[in-house]
Structure 1
Amino acid sequence: MCRIAGIISPSHYSDSIKKHISSMTEIQKHGGPDGEGVYFDAEAGLAFGHRRLSLLDLSDLGRQPMSTADENYTIVFNGEIYNFIEIRNELKAHGFSFISQSDTEVVLKAYIAWGTRSFSKLRGMFAFAIYDKANNEVILVRDSQGVKPLYYYLQNDQLIFASEVKAFKDLPIKLTDNPDWPVYFLSFGHLPEPVTTYSEVNMLPKGHYLRYHTLTHKTIPYSSYIQEESFGDLSSISITEAQQLVDELLDKAIRQQLVADAPIGVFLSGGIDSSLLALQASKYQRENLITVSLHFPEAQFSEKSFQQLISDKLPGQHISQEITHKDFETYFDEIVENMDQPGVDGINSWFVSKAASNTGLKAVLSGVGADELFGGYPSFQRISKIPIMRMAAPLAQLIAKLTGKDALQRVTYLQNRSHSAYEYLFLRGFFTPIQLQQYFGMSNKSIQNSIAHLAEPHSPAIPAYNGKRASWYELNYFMQNQLLKDADTMSMQHGLEIRVPFLDESLVTLVKNLPADILYKKGLPAKHLLIGAFQGILPREIWDRPKMGFTFPFQQWIKRHPRYLELKEKYRSTPKFSFFEAYDRDQIHWSKIMSLMVLEKFHA
């Protein structure tokens, strides 16, 4: 895991490009505390920068940017390739030799051997750029699940890229605030890809690559490189057979993702997903296993007893850290400052990453992806109601105005069918259109126009209103834009890599192709397929209880925070004040207040 940056600007002076690439890497140094490097080609007006977090091949042979001996090919790489040994062996059979043990060298030589077709061979999480000097091309590539970020600026014959939006802010380029980003943030609770706070900076789509010609400055439009694995006809597969496949593929993913030349552990929240990862990882890590948990003094939010239930079954070391209201107050400003883009879900990731980093860990396994694939959210029950609720939307809108109930107000989104985001906002919407109009003075037309102009996710939505469609929304909106983005940003603030075995390409492809009635069978517990696949090791107490989710006691903590009190006072004479009063009466969820506190920071 690292941080990367690049500038291709033939019209700028060499000294200027060198200075600015150094600035971009310096801004991102928290994500690569183990070293830095720069590659420069004066003739092409090109510079690549890299900050290193050493996990594989800790020697200088793994340093980046990495070039071939003839300097015809250069790469800056962020991420991990879990099947790099198999690809390296294949390349050796084709006559290639290697000077390092790093996956970066494998990616570079795979490109030399197979060109852009090589990208479909890669299994892992990654974002990288290759300078193909022989063909005067720069190619940007992002992993198939969108785990690693890659932002780019393409204006005035320049291509600039980085792992974080912050890296663009001090460059001599025109950056204008995206006028729609507050609408998106308040509507979704995050910024949906490819949107950023700047109109000129976008996120490269997952599973795609972009080609830029360094002489003509022309860009070839996004191309998908994904070639999904085939599991044959699964239409008549039994639950038992499906469970066996899930067991095998998840176990393989965990085994591959435990490979590192530096300490690696597991986040243990006490829920199904993290418990499974820890129990499976213990088979390979044994006494070297390190699990990390957070708990709270407030008993109703603490999962300490469930964490202890699992940790007692594990070898190795368990790190359990208590987080208090005082910790929240002490670190809040620093955490919000650490955000690369506005979000409401990153504080928990910041604290658990800090705890892991303090133990000396460089990487951890996380359970992100399991709820989205196997049906762990309420949206999997709500999805079937969309056709009926759409018919009732006009009446619901009238009642919503009278009662002010969020659930009814979200139904109004269903009146618009022009974009998939409207159904997502019915399932998981943040501030509703009525609230945006009442509290922020936004017109309904401007809200609708902003949403309608969003880019659709590149994979097509599932037609039927079943669990498959809910999973598509969770994967392409909530997980993609909130969980993965916040996890990456906050973990890298502590020089920590988060790996996500549930998003292994083979496992994701399998689940996407399993029948809906196998995955989300009525009458069975949520995530029953996952539970059944590991029923031999997963204690009943872990899965046979209400879902809590990994959250802090924010509903109480925020009310006492100075930033909240300042914000409340600021809006005392405005329509927003009634919103704060409702929160004080626990009629408003803390996440909406958090969004206003974050909004205040990004608007400052």
Structure 2
Amino acid sequence: MCGIFCHAGTGSANIEAGLRAVAHRGPDHTEILRDGIVSLGHQRLAIIDVSDSGNQPMKSRSGHVAIVFNGEIYNYKELKRSLELEGALFVTGSDTEVVLEGYDRHGTDFFNRMRGMWAFVLHDVRAGKLVYARDPFGIKPLYYAIRGRDIYFASELKCFKAAGLPLEPDPAAYDLFYALGYFVAPATPYKGVSKLRPGSVMSWDIDNATYLELARVSRFMDGIPLPTLCTPAEALDALDDSLTKSIEAHYVADVPVSLLLSGGTDSSIIAAISKKLDKQPTAYHIAVRGSEDTQYATDIAQHLGVPLIIEQLSEESLTDEYAKVWDILDEPTADISIIPTALVYGRIKGRAKVVLSGEGGDELFGGYLRHGLLSQHTRVDQTDAFNTVLNAGMFPQRFGLSYTNPLVQRIRAGLLGSGMVNDLVGAYLASTRSIDYPLADTAVRNTLAAFYEAEYDPRIPPSLAFDTLAYLPNDLLQKSDIASMASSIEARVPLVDRYLQTEVSAILRAVDIRKATEGKKILKQVLERYLPPDLIYRKKKGFGVPMMAYKTHAFLDDFEKACVFHLAHRDAFAVASDLVHLIASKGVRPIIARKYPRFAFALISNWKCFADSGRGG
């Protein structure tokens, strides 16, 4: 796991400053490779082959290709053996060299054989181009900015600012942000700055200053044997085996591996199978006030014999972390759980370099409460008559937020759950909007419908599609990466894996998929092999923070300032009249902060990300 900052072109940029902005991602080694008008910068966090031979930027044996790589390839030893049979010679024990030599021999087709997480930039000297790619789930981030005939690459947006690139907000990206609370790739909050789409492989012609998408690496692996199932018991055996293989693969490292244990199903299955594999991880848990998770995590750790370190989220620690998180975030978000996530990684810092996390289990196995509703819908359209009529009854003023809008939403939920309406986009928005008001609803629906059409794979159940393709990479994995890397920790996600995704898809198609994914039933049935039922079956809870329960005055004060900021910069941030009505009244703002803290946090984070640029700071 590492940090990247690169530049190709004749324009001016402070490469050293841009790279220093992600020094936390890789404190073990810093290096910049310059070749003509191409500069490849790398900050290394040494995980596999921790010797100096694994340092980057790295050149191929032929000298024709150089690379800066962020991530891990879990099947690199298998790929290495295959390349050695072809005559390849290796001088390091790193997975980076395998990617380098694989591309030098097979081109971009080699990326389809990789199992892991990655974001990298290759300089192909012979072809006169840069090749840049991202793993198919979007576990690792990669941003790029085009300025005239120059292109820049970075692991975090803050690199561009540190390097001296002028950045301006992109109002076209904000309709979806206000609705969902995150930016969907390739969109970012900045004009001319893009987030590489998951799985995308692109090239930049250095002389002609043009770019082209070469390929998309699928979330699914081709050519692997899929389980043949006959009975429910065989399905559970196959799933248990698939989970075991994925979790074992994610232990590939030359440093100790730890894990997060929330007490929920996903982290519990990782802990249980880790013990089965005779791994010896230390587990970490963050205790949130009023949550039963801590007792469950404690009982699960005791049952499995896993050492558990509990960190308390006190009012003081939350206040401190709330102040610190703005140094970490450089992409606005509505996800308040960035605070406890950053806090727990901050407490782990110095104790572990690699931590396993349960992200992705809900998207793979249908763990969110909304998935029951979404399973009733398959039609994806830009418009829906019921939706249009109901939206007309919603108002952005105080009375609407307090009374009429919640009533309309209950009517909407009733219709969506009655079978009278088939509207997957509407059902998803009704379940996930950050505020009970259809801001820019037509534009949002159009964007989501087009996104579904472009990204959907029939091997993904429609009820899980938006969470798998949009929410997981652009919110959850983005949060996991930036929070963990701020503390120089590599977060790995065994439930977000190409082999596992492929095998689970086959298993679910062989059983009653709706019943199997109802409340993650099939995953919990596997967990019964390791834990007693009373530690498995309980009400689903997310990793959220009740900000008002902690009496965080800074949150309320900052929301006031964020509202003023957005009202002062309406055009820059697409603050349309409805949004003006929502945030202009001082009497309405406390209602929003209390009832819709995600929306409030979205505005605060956007203000914080832009305030120091001189735009209304």
Q: TM-score, normalized by length of structure 2? A: 0.85
Alpha-carbon spacing, 1:305–1:600, altered in 2? closer, same or farther (3 Å):
same
AA matched with 1:309: D
Match 2:365 to one of 366, 374, 390: 374
AA matched with 1:477: A
8 Å contact from structure 2 (residues 7, 151) kept in 1: yes
Alpha-carbon spacing, 1:319–1:285, altered in 2? closer, same or farther (3 Å):
farther
Is 2:22 aligned against 1:28? yes
Alpha-carbon spacing, 1:566–1:174, altered in 2? closer, same or farther (3 Å):
closer
C-alpha deviation, 1:396, in angstroms: 2.9
Alpha-carbon spacing, 1:407–1:224, altered in 2? closer, same or farther (3 Å):
farther
- Matched position secondary structure for 2:391: helix
Following the alignment from structure 2 to structure 1, what is the Cα–Cα distance between the partners of residues 146 and 91?
35
C-alpha deviation, 1:340, in angstroms: 2.1
- Please give the per-residue CA displacement for 1:519-549, whole angstroms capped at 9, x wherever unaligned: 6444996111111223210221232111122
AA matched with 1:344: A
Alignment correspondent of 2:39: 47
Alpha-carbon spacing, 1:571–1:145, altered in 2? closer, same or farther (3 Å):
closer
- Matched position secondary structure for 1:319: strand
Match 1:396 to one of 390, 396, 416: 390
Is 2:51 aligned against 1:59? yes
AA matched with 1:372: E
Q: Please show how residues 444-523 of structure 1 align to structure 2 within 5 Å.
A: 444=440, 448-449=442-443, 452=446, 456=451, 460-461=455-456, 468-515=461-508, 518=511, 520-522=513-515
8 Å contact from structure 2 (residues 202, 212) kept in 1: yes
Following the alignment from structure 1 to structure 2, what is the Cα–Cα distance between the partners of residues 278 and 308?
12
Alpha-carbon spacing, 1:230–1:194, altered in 2? closer, same or farther (3 Å):
same
Alpha-carbon spacing, 1:393–1:468, altered in 2? closer, same or farther (3 Å):
same
Alpha-carbon spacing, 1:273–1:563, altered in 2? closer, same or farther (3 Å):
closer
C-alpha deviation, 1:309, in angstroms: 0.8
Alpha-carbon spacing, 1:508–1:233, altered in 2? closer, same or farther (3 Å):
closer
> 57-66 vs 526-535, which deviates more?
526-535
8 Å contact from structure 1 (residues 520, 526) kept in 2: no
Is 2:244 aligned against 1:251? yes
Match 2:608 to one of 588, 593, 601: 601
Match 2:326 to one of 333, 336, 339: 336
Following the alignment from structure 1 to structure 2, what is the Cα–Cα distance between the partners of residues 407 and 517?
41
Following the alignment from structure 1 to structure 2, what is the Cα–Cα distance between the partners of residues 462 and 482?
20
8 Å contact from structure 1 (residues 289, 315) kept in 2: no
Alpha-carbon spacing, 1:556–1:255, altered in 2? closer, same or farther (3 Å):
same
8 Å contact from structure 1 (residues 31, 51) kept in 2: yes
Q: TM-score, normalized by length of structure 1? A: 0.87
Identical aligned residues as a percent: 27
Alpha-carbon spacing, 1:181–1:577, altered in 2? closer, same or farther (3 Å):
farther
Is 2:75 aligned against 1:83? yes
Q: Please show how residues 300-311 of structure 1 align to structure 2 within 5 Å.
A: 300-311=290-301
Alpha-carbon spacing, 1:408–1:507, altered in 2? closer, same or farther (3 Å):
farther
Q: Please show how residues 121-520 of structure 1 align to structure 2 within 5 Å.
A: 121-226=113-218, 228-229=221-222, 237-286=230-279, 288-296=280-288, 298=289, 300-315=290-305, 317-345=307-335, 346-358=338-350, 360-386=351-377, 390=384, 392-401=386-395, 403-406=403-406, 408-409=408-409, 424-434=428-438, 436=439, 444=440, 448-449=442-443, 452=446, 456=451, 460-461=455-456, 468-515=461-508, 518=511, 520=513
C-alpha deviation, 1:192, in angstroms: 1.4
Alpha-carbon spacing, 1:524–1:420, altered in 2? closer, same or farther (3 Å):
closer
C-alpha deviation, 1:208, in angstroms: 1.7
Alignment correspondent of 1:579: 588
Alpha-carbon spacing, 1:166–1:261, altered in 2? closer, same or farther (3 Å):
same
Alpha-carbon spacing, 1:307–1:69, altered in 2? closer, same or farther (3 Å):
same
8 Å contact from structure 1 (residues 142, 207) kept in 2: yes
C-alpha deviation, 1:115, in angstroms: 1.0
C-alpha deviation, 1:508, in angstroms: 0.8
Alpha-carbon spacing, 1:126–1:208, altered in 2? closer, same or farther (3 Å):
same
Alignment correspondent of 2:570: none
Alpha-carbon spacing, 1:24–1:485, altered in 2? closer, same or farther (3 Å):
same
Unaligned runs of 5+ in 1: 437-443
Following the alignment from structure 2 to structure 1, what is the Cα–Cα distance between the partners of residues 606 and 358?
28
AA matched with 1:595: A
Alignment correspondent of 2:5: 5
8 Å contact from structure 2 (residues 256, 354) kept in 1: yes
Alpha-carbon spacing, 1:155–1:406, altered in 2? closer, same or farther (3 Å):
farther
Alignment correspondent of 1:440: none
AA matched with 1:404: T
- Matched position secondary structure for 2:67: strand
AA matched with 1:46: V
Following the alignment from structure 1 to structure 2, what is the Cα–Cα distance between the partners of residues 488 and 312?
29
- Matched position secondary structure for 1:134: coil
Unaligned runs of 5+ in 2: 565-580, 612-617
- Matched position secondary structure for 1:127: strand
8 Å contact from structure 2 (residues 227, 238) kept in 1: no
Following the alignment from structure 1 to structure 2, what is the Cα–Cα distance between the partners of residues 160 and 147?
20
> 393-402 vs 231-240, which deviates more?
231-240
Following the alignment from structure 1 to structure 2, what is the Cα–Cα distance between the partners of residues 553 and 516?
38
What's the C-alpha RMSD, in Å, of the aligned pairs? 3.1
Alpha-carbon spacing, 1:395–1:352, altered in 2? closer, same or farther (3 Å):
same
C-alpha deviation, 1:377, in angstroms: 0.5
